[in-house]
Amino acid sequence: MVYKGTLPNGGHVAVKFLHDTTGNGEEFVNEVISIRRTSHVNVVTLLGFCLEGSKRALIYDYMPNGSLDKFIYTENSKQALGWETLYGIATGIARGLEYLHRGCNTRIIHFDIKPQNILLDQDFVPKIADFGLAKLCNPKESYLLSMDGMRGTVGFIAPEVFSRRFGVVSTKSDVYSFGMVLLEMVGGRRNLRASVERESEVYFPDWAHSHLAQFGSLQPFDLGFDGPEEIAKKMATIGLWCIQISPASRPTMSKVLEMFEKSADELEIPPKQFIYSPIQ
């Protein structure tokens, strides 16, 4: 539960109360330990915390525009934000993740990148939030030697987090989640949705790949604007690379940032993925 608080000087903060179902405060400890190591414009700032008996609270900067999901899961989401703003949010998330994976003194795997955990300030600058599931890596490594249980939110969890037969759990697991977020931003909907006119549109990543591969375009999908589709096409292509089944086939977040610097036509369409596609 998150509340808006007011400081004596009139400033606003977000107060997040944690109810740890494990009873040992793991989520609270994870969040404090992880985020106190960070300082980046695209990562939320922890101002303080409270630990009193069983009560645990974290105090953050207040983000007046809330979380990304309320903008991309609504009708006319592209008209509300505009594609330039959506693109700025996407690149901001990428920079924040690249910092967590490479810029910290300890590499951090977030494990729960999703629209609900991307907060937007008054200027729609994105901030990665909620480090309750995060894990720290050795500064020289980008993977975990071991991990207890599955972490994340269904729909954004990388295959190797479900089963190690797909590969090693690493920073590439966050890359997968980022790709799913990118595709939901492009589609303005959840990637898996049963209430669609055509069966081919049930799983948006499959639909996007088919149209990009066959036609080099996302039309006739309603992109919410009449101008060039350069931004949507670029975001979708990068997203499809990020959700490759094999972690080795996914780009690093540093590579993702390089891809954002290219034009959509310079980006190669990745191989189509068949696992986890509900229409295959």
Catalytic residues: 112
Cβ–Cβ under 8 Å, residues 26 and 151: no
User: Is the separation of the CB atoms in 38 and 69 below 8 Å?
Assistant: no
State the Cα–Cα distance between residues 116 and 128, nearest whole angstrom: 10
Sign of CA dihedral 73, 78, 82, 88: positive
Residue 31 has φ and ψ, to the nearest 5°, of: -65, -45
Q: Identify the three-state secondary structure at position 215.
A: helix
Provide the 10 A C-beta neighbour count for residue 116: 17
CB 72 within 8 A of CB 115: yes
Whether 235 contacts 253, CB under 8 Å:
no
